């Protein structure tokens, strides 16, 4: 996996800027923090923000899904070239790279993303909500 550095900020920011529909909450400071903490991957026209859980507990505030210490969570995955197959390839490489289970959350109404996660072998393991319960989401898991 190719971890991006602070020098890659402009390229990383462009992924989010071009996908405001799904990532309106992501600020430049968020991207910088991910880069500084080694939590942003840029590989083959695909961006992934992620980190390893440091303790066992719920994966979010409004869910009953529990992750274990050492599991990983993907916060965002964005393909520059939608439909090219690059995201599928990079995500499968990511699953091989991390030694444990991988979680992610996505808006329930993001049909394309939900179909994609099913296609790459993830399973729905629960639900989550954001915006004080007004925005429903799904919790997906790739089990090693």
Q: What is the pLDDT of residue 83?
A: 86
* Residues contacting 29, CB < 8 A, separation 6+: none
Burial class (CB in 10 A: 0-12, 13-18, 19+), 29: exposed
Q: CA nearest 67: which of 128, 135, 131?
A: 128
Q: What Å distances lie between residue 66 and 17, 31, 73, 81, 140, CA to CA?
A: 31, 26, 12, 33, 12
Q: What is the pLDDT of residues 51-107, one digit of tens each?
A: 999 999 999 889 999 999 999 999 999 999 988 999 999 999 999 999 899 999 999
Q: Is pLDDT at 50 greater than 90 in this prediction?
A: yes
Does the structure show a pLDDT above 90 at 23? no
pLDDT digits (tens, 9 = 90+) for 100-129: 999 999 999 999 999 999 999 999 999 999
DSSP SS3 for 90: helix
Cα Rg of the chain, angstroms = 14
């Amino acid at each position: 996996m190719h971890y991006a550095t602070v020098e890659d900020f402009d390229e990383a920011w462009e992924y989010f800027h071009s996908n405001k529909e799904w990532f309106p909450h992501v600020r430049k400071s968020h991207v910088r923090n991910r880069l500084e903490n080694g939590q942003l991957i840029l590989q083959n026209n695909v961006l992934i923000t992620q980190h390893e859980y440091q303790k066992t507990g719920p994966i979010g505030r409004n869910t009953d899904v529990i992750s274990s210490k050492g599991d990983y969570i993907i916060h965002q995955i964005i393909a520059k070239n939608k439909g090219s197959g690059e995201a599928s390839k990079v995500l499968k490489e990511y699953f091989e790279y991390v030694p444990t289970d991988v979680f992610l959350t996505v808006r329930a109404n993001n049909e394309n993303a939900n179909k994609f996660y099913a296609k790459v072998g993830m399973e729905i393991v629960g639900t989550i909500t954001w915006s004080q319960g007004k925005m429903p989401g799904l919790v997906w898991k790739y089990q090693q």
